[in-house]
Amino acid sequence: MDNQFIFQYSWDILPKKWVHKMKRSEHGNRFYTNTDNLFPLLCFLKWHTYTRVQVLIDICGVDYPSRKRRFEVVYNLLSTRYNARIRVQTSADEVTRISSVVSLFPSAGWWEREVWDMFGLSFINHPDLRRILTDYGFEGHPLRKDFPLSGYVEVRYDDPEKRVVSEPIEMTQEFRYFDFASPWEQRSDG
Amino acid sequence: MTVPVTRKDLMIVNMGPHHPSMHGVLRLILTLDGEDVIDCEPILGYLHRGMEKIAENRTILQYLPYVTRWDYLATMFTEAITVNAPEKLENVQVPQRASYIRVIMLELSRIASHLLWLGPFMADIGAQTPFFYIFRERELIYNLFEAATGMRMMHNYFRIGGVAADLPYGWIEKCFDFCDYFLTGVVEYQKLITRNPIFLERVEGVGIIGGEEAVNWGLSGPMLRASGIQWDLRKVDNYECYNEFDWEIQWQKEGDSLARYLVRIGEMKESIKMIQQALEGIPGGPYENLEVRRFDRAKNSEWNDFAYRFISKKPSPNFELSKQELYARVEAPKGELGIYLIGDNSVFPWRWKIRPPGFINLQILPELVKRMKLADIMTILGSIDIIMGEVDR
């Protein structure tokens, strides 16, 4: 199957310092790399004749606060020529700057802005790194695990000032947490 | 080719988040020189609701009502991807009947989405009549959905392992009647629109995207197929039971707005063909794999058979996601809608990343409107077919 072919081929041919771990599973094959080698790896994957992953589907940031390098950036890639998908993952902490892949994949422009906005990871050589989804004066990076679900401020229209103001949040009932662990069901592992 | 600059100072116009077209809250900051557009900058985020953060605190079943609010015109697709991702993660089997019902609902939703693309597209160009005509057909689809799922638009119908309830008696005949009626409706649209010289003048040659450029920018869906690349996830990925039907990928070569219009009209007709084949071939059997609601999750269990289906009410679901990651995708009417899901051995996902087609397709807008006239912006924006609900999430 072509999916396995380009994955196995790239794993065989790439220098080991670019890809320091690979994992295959039925849910998608992935390469783990570090932030210095990210750009050459994606450049290789995009332009090499036998891999030709020309489409960047998605750049996703994930937050694992228990790890030392707490963020992980996942690049989902697709090759339309070979009908294969590959995932490339790197780890970064709050101050690492990752090189931007906008020059390779123009669609990365907004994805990297979103990762910056939601997590706080900045990218070198990005033409326009600023917030994209949050409000104009928003402080904080919402998708980090230490940012609460309800946020810190709420907005309301203030009539004396004739504009919208942000104020600290006021919750009229406590946060309800449903996780449906039924007391009657016995789990198979106890 | 340089555009002669008629004035020294360029005018910056704000097409603010409120505007009469139905594209949603999108703010465009245009730099104009007379009628020519020099640059355009879209500003998003007016409809950002934190869907991804909410997903980290809800079980899949609790999250299903939220997902229809991403793409609120093609709601079945968002639900389909939300249940497909955990199903693939845990290798849950979906009964054959449920798969057919899902395909019928998905294709009806595709027709509904393309109809509600067509209306505002024509209204932005200037033709008001198709806007009313499409709602006639869309009301019929709403009636079908209401009979099967209980809701006209935000259905909450799909479940992990199937659908929530079976089709009511007589629904299949009504759906057949709708298919026959709709084919005459599409012919009416084509007579009214496709060879209309005013329409062609507005739309032909506007916003051309080449094939290589489309792949580079990561476009998907009708935008990619209109530029000559025959890439349709229903054929390529073979999910649900699309490979049992006989249909073709609709594609065009030119890459302009007219090509995108023709691709979408063609897709509507292909969807009707698929629905008719599915309705004729729908098998009997269970409509939901109820075993996945329990922790043990046995495969092919006898508790799913007909004899046990009506014994008691459905158990409350505690579907646990194991610690794996997965990227699942469907061919939504706007493009490739995907979910990147990282499970965490608990009922809540650790990361639920939504890959909206509109977000990516919108990125190419500043490139396309350079050197176009002001009036062409609405044509191009309309032909990209975005929904701010999924762009902003």
pLDDT digits (tens, 9 = 90+) for A7-63: 777 777 777 766 677 766 666 777 777 777 788 888 888 888 777 888 888 888 888
> What's the confidence (pLDDT) of residue A190?
33
pTM over 0.80: yes
pLDDT digits (tens, 9 = 90+) for B203-244: 888 888 888 888 888 888 888 888 888 888 888 877 778 888
Rounded CA-CA distance B29/B15 in Å is 6
Low-confidence ranges of chain B (pLDDT < 50): 1, 295
Q: Which of residues 66-105 of B touch A (CB under 8 A)?
A: 88-89
Residue B237, both tokens: 């990925």
Q: Which of residues 267-306 of B touch A (CB under 8 A)?
A: 294-296
B227 three-state secondary structure = coil
| ipTM above threshold 0.90 | no
Q: State whether B45 and A133 contact (CB < 8 Å).
A: yes
Is A120 touching B (CB cutoff 8 A)?
no
Count CB atoms within 10 A of the CB of residue B100.
Answer: 23
Is A177 touching B (CB cutoff 8 A)?
yes
Angle at A88 between CA A85 and CA A89, to 5 degrees: 140
Burial B162-185 (b: 16+ CB within 10 A, else e): bbbebbeeebeebbeebbeebeeb
Q: State whether A132 and B316 contact (CB < 8 Å).
A: no
Integer CA distances (angstroms), B191 to A105, B127, B217, B321, in order: 41, 14, 34, 51
Rounded CA-CA distance A54/A46 in Å is 5
> What's the confidence (pLDDT) of residue A186?
47
> What's the confidence (pLDDT) of residue B1?
43
Rounded CA-CA distance B53/B66 in Å is 12
In chain A, % of residues over pLDDT 90: 0
Q: Which of residues 124-163 of B touch A (CB under 8 A)?
A: none
Cα distance from N-terminal residue to C-terminal residue, chain A: 40
The helix (H) or strand (E) run that includes residue B331 is strand B325-332
The answer to whether the CB of B317 falls within 8 A of the CB of B61 is yes
> What's the confidence (pLDDT) of residue A42?
83
CA of B146 to nearest chain A CA: how many angstroms apart?
A: 29
Q: State whether B295 and A76 contact (CB < 8 Å).
A: no
> What's the confidence (pLDDT) of residue B313?
58
Q: State whether B363 and A182 contact (CB < 8 Å).
A: no
Low-confidence ranges of chain A (pLDDT < 70): 1-3, 17-19, 23-27, 157, 159, 178-190
Residue B351, both tokens: 């990361």
Around A181, how many Cα atoms within 13 Å sit in the side-chain half-sphere?
A: 7
Is B325 touching A (CB cutoff 8 A)?
yes
Query: Considering only CB atoms, which chain A residues are within 8 Å of B338?
Result: 57-58, 76
Is A166 touching B (CB cutoff 8 A)?
no
Q: Among all residues of chain A, which has the CA nearest to that of B52?
A: A143
Rounded CA-CA distance B359/B306 in Å is 44
Q: For residue B174, which amino acid is it?
A: K
Which of B236, B294, B392 faces A83 most closely, judged by CB atoms?
A: B236
Residues paired with B40 in a beta bridge: B30
